[in-house]
Structure 1
């Protein structure tokens, strides 16, 4: 089963029709096709447009569902929030029908715009300049494939016109309030060539593979809490792959979804070149440099406190997913009883001062007394929620470029690897 994301615009409608023809007429009858339209409820016309797509699918015998983005919408960052909601809803739909993958209709035009936007805020050679990957894993649940990345919008529209099909034009595509629209008008036919884009994608894949090898050889994880980096790696921040490997670990330790910025990277490089070791804090991470290595752990400041009802699930500090599987309301916080954890860290080879500092940011639990189950409380039963390390860099969106690197980091933090895409591509 293939799930096609269809908005009713020319690109997605062309993709749906091309897949339908391939399956019904092109000898790919082993596949089945379903479609999903996400209604962001941001325009009065969106409901009617979603229903029109449903009617289009019904005429062709294509199963179709509509998913709506409910709730309050943010005042700022609306496009990023809509994108996150769209992929979450598509992943829900894919899981429910057991789809092998989701396909979206991103084009070569979209790719050029994406790279141009990233060029305005990235240094030459930065990983993001490879643009959109041909496949990306969403929330560790569903692979999204982008088969139209080599095609231009004019080709898709010619395909639809030849079949007498029209499409919707979203007015937000001409709203210069959005960065992508401004960039689209600024490019006017210029931008990266297909050969350059392909080369950049291959370069990013090669970089990720080298970084993955560096991580497996020179980084050790402890209890999902501390990472030890060999001096052979930490002393080579001028090497882009070494820097990327180290900064990726820092992001995970700090519970961040993005790599540290260039200012932080510059400060860290200068710190690591200074003799005598010492400590530096940046991006919520302590970089503790010693003769035996560079130790990374979460700084013991700004650590959150939250409460979970039975059955609730939440992300704590950007680092741990917690699910309350018990009968009591529980409190999730830092610290608590840390003596046993500290002893384990020291026994595993961490310097005692590092272990003592690191445990201050360890996740801990307690029963909220006012809501405690008396039977459990009297028996002294401690809360035992399900806890899993969260890798903010990859757990929401993982481009296929970075799969090998993500799996190396997952292993360091005691996590299972990520599923492979259904097809191999860059």
Structure 2
């Protein structure tokens, strides 16, 4: 028997058909709260015949978290779904605790999904999350990117993240659970007004704001954001990528409105560095002002150099010198490196060694050469393969031109 459209499961199942209908397997991130418990049950109903797995991230921020993860495990196994608990081992992170926890959660889930050959992980964000996020970011003075709605899907950390519940409200989901006798865990931190989201949530309730209307407003902003992204992609069509550096045509950049220029520069910096997040808006605006006056400027580890009819963006030497040795075959999040022998490591060539390797013959600029990968044995320079190819060493850029265009559209 088909479910009526008013039933939240109807909307979630329709979204799953759209987002994951062709996937043979899917993971579900389940905290134990009402939203994610509803998601787990709805996917279990929808996904018969598919391989479905469940994971809970235990951030260790509350004494009860371990037992709550066990409760989720029992609920998953009752649905014949394998469950894993992923522990966050807090390191020396500084700054916003909740932001660090959120980032760690995604990284842990991505690793779990990759180990289990899961192409996508479903998250339990709802229309209420859309509304709360819109008001939180509005209060912070966010631009159109911050105010736009969460996308139904996005790719990050090598995994596709799905949000099939964005059209469902928090209260209807809990009503759906109650009607079926399904329990969930109420996290006491959801009442802690030290957190912005809790204060916003209570303000929405106190003012009687229409959550679906706020979620629709975020969707309208998302549509405007998409239009800007298409404009920026058109302005970026003649960008040239070479040896880890990017060149933008200055005329197309200069003819574009300020917001499009910002998008181009932010995407270009992320392309050069491989950063997960864009530069802060204020620092990006400072860089745009410098470019407008023809001055060279550094933005988040990227050197930006207006030069004649073009704008060149490449890795800042000082940032490259701070990069650790090769990890999983990649150096500085920019280069695939192979051919290293025992006792050898990779570090930036550095300005002090540039003259030794006759950098002008490579076609690179001096700063580009200084930030390029070099092979070392202790303090002895062995090779600078980007400048002068030397067997058996091979270096290839992690990103190509199409990745820049993807970042322009994704920003």
TM-score > 0.5 by shorter chain: yes
Aligned match for 2:140, one of 109, 121, 133: 121
Matches of 1:383 and 1:304, distance apart in 2: 23
- Give the alignment of 1:13-412 within 5 angstroms: 13-23=37-47, 29-72=48-91, 74=93, 76-124=95-143, 126-139=144-157, 141-188=158-205, 189-190=208-209, 193-217=214-238, 219-225=239-245, 227-236=246-255, 238-253=257-272, 256-274=275-293, 277-305=294-322, 308=325, 316=332, 319-320=334-335, 326-335=341-350, 336=353, 339=357, 342-345=360-363, 355-368=365-378, 384=393, 388-389=397-398, 406=403, 408=405
Counterpart in 2 of 1:5? 29
Distance 1:153 1:344, change over 3 A: same
Matches of 1:254 and 1:93, distance apart in 2: 26
Q: Is the 8 A contact 1:330 1:383 kept in 2?
A: no
Q: Structure 2: which 5+ runs fail to align? A: 1-24, 383-389
Distance 1:256 1:34, change over 3 A: closer
Alignment RMSD: 3.4
What is the CA deviation profile of residues 372-395 of structure 1, one whole-angstrom value per residue up to 9, with x for unaligned ones?
A: 9xxxxxxxx97837664379xxxx
Matches of 1:405 and 1:186, distance apart in 2: 43
Q: Is the 8 A contact 1:237 1:269 kept in 2?
A: no
Matches of 1:345 and 1:409, distance apart in 2: 27
Matches of 2:94 and 2:282, distance apart in 1: 29
How big is the shift at 1:145?
0.4
Matches of 1:361 and 1:147, distance apart in 2: 43
How big is the shift at 1:334?
3.5
Matches of 1:255 and 1:22, distance apart in 2: 37
Q: TM-score, normalised by structure 2?
A: 0.78
Distance 1:104 1:286, change over 3 A: closer
Q: TM-score, normalised by structure 1?
A: 0.75
Matches of 1:304 and 1:150, distance apart in 2: 47
Q: Is the 8 A contact 2:284 2:299 kept in 1?
A: no
Q: Give the paired residue count.
A: 371
How big is the shift at 1:86?
1.4
Distance 1:115 1:95, change over 3 A: same
Q: Is the 8 A contact 1:324 1:386 kept in 2?
A: no
Matches of 2:370 and 2:379, distance apart in 1: 23
Distance 1:301 1:57, change over 3 A: closer
Q: Which has the higher contact order (CA 8 A, sep 6+)?
A: 1
Matches of 2:334 and 2:398, distance apart in 1: 6
How big is the shift at 1:332?
1.4
How big is the shift at 1:183?
2.5
